[in-house]
């Protein structure tokens, strides 16, 4: 059986067209939200930037509109600023209290050999009770045994 190239190309085009028509068909699913509700969520979020999704949900409920917090998070305007302060801002804010601290002298984390990076002798249980000494302004603690 010998076919013309135009016949084979026509079959391919028809199959391609049928496949993508089937692939992009409208499927039934959850109905979309009303455009006015989406715009109202955006306006409420912009006017009240300190409100969270639960507060906006409750305000919408007072208006007789139903929306879940997930829906509100989905349609709220995206924030363009960083979620928290940068490292440099933190250092600038706390420079006065951190000036006298040395971060490299005390390190109480354990290494793979189960010893601290700065080795110290093992303190046996009969030496005394365990106490914690705050270091780096209370961010870290070094545990030692206090003599009885």
For residue 139, the model assigns a pLDDT of 55
> What distance in Å separates the CA atoms of residue 65 and residue 85, rounded to the nearest whole number?
36
**pLDDT tens string 50-65:** 788 888 888 888 888 8
147's tokens: 């003599």
> What distance in Å separates the CA atoms of residue 53 and residue 58, rounded to the nearest whole number?
9
**pLDDT tens string 59-117:** 888 888 889 999 999 998 877 666 667 778 877 877 777 655 555 444 444 445 544 55
User: pTM of this prediction?
Assistant: 0.40
């Amino acid at each position: 059986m010998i076919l013309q190239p135009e016949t084979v190309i026509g079959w391919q085009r028809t199959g391609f067209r049928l496949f993508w028509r089937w692939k992009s068909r409208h499927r039934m699913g959850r109905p979309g939200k009303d455009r006015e509700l989406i715009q109202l969520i955006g306006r409420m979020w912009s006017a009240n930037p300190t409100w969270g999704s639960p507060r906006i949900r409750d305000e919408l409920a007072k208006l007789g509109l139903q929306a879940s917090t997930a829906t509100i998070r989905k349609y709220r305007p995206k924030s363009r600023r960083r979620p928290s302060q940068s490292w440099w801002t933190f250092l600038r804010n706390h420079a006065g209290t951190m000036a006298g601290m040395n971060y490299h002298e005390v390190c109480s984390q354990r290494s793979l050999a189960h010893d601290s990076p700065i080795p110290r002798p093992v303190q046996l249980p009969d030496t005394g009770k365990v106490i914690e000494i705050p270091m780096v302004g209370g961010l870290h603690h070094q545990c030692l045994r206090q003599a009885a």
